[in-house]
Amino acid sequence: AQKITQTQPGMFVQEKEAVTLDCTYDTSDPSYGLFWYKQPSSGEMIFLIYQGSYDQQNATEGRYSLNFQKARKSANLVISASQLGDSAMYFCAMSAMFSGGYNKLIFGAGTRLAVHP
């Protein structure tokens, strides 16, 4: 069965510093995708970044990068130069080709990030 584990219920970071949010996953499917979503206090789900299981390089999107370590089954989100607006809940999610298909996202429990001035 597929599973996403986020072991950090809450994280604190000083503004302008970098922070890493942990995500480990479990799947026996050889083809899968890993996603990070941000949920601010307003409640909407905002897509941040995606990594495919066959991608050779780590994904990057602006200040967001995904530290993908396939052998360790980890897909940590790195936010560089944190901003006050980064304070939110962050979810790691996965879908796998043969374990539910592209449309079935499995989510972790989330990490609440607080950015301090």
* Residues making contact with other proteins (CB under 8 A): 4, 32-33, 35, 37, 43-45, 47, 50, 52, 91, 93, 95, 102-110
Work out how close the CB of 47 gets to other proteins at its nearest, in angstroms, rounded to a whole number.
4
Comparison of 68 and 91: residue with beta carbon closer to other proteins: 91
Work out how close the CB of 17 gets to other proteins at its nearest, in angstroms, rounded to a whole number.
26
Distance of CA 80 to the CA centre of its chain: 14
Q: Which amino acid does the sequence have at 88?
A: A
- Sorted by sequence, the CB contacts under 8 Å of residue 89 that are 6+ apart come out as 38, 39, 40, 110, 111, 112, 113
Euclidean distance between CA atoms 24 and 6, whole angstroms: 7
Comparison of 17 and 40: residue with beta carbon closer to other proteins: 40
Work out how close the CB of 86 gets to other proteins at its nearest, in angstroms, rounded to a whole number.
19
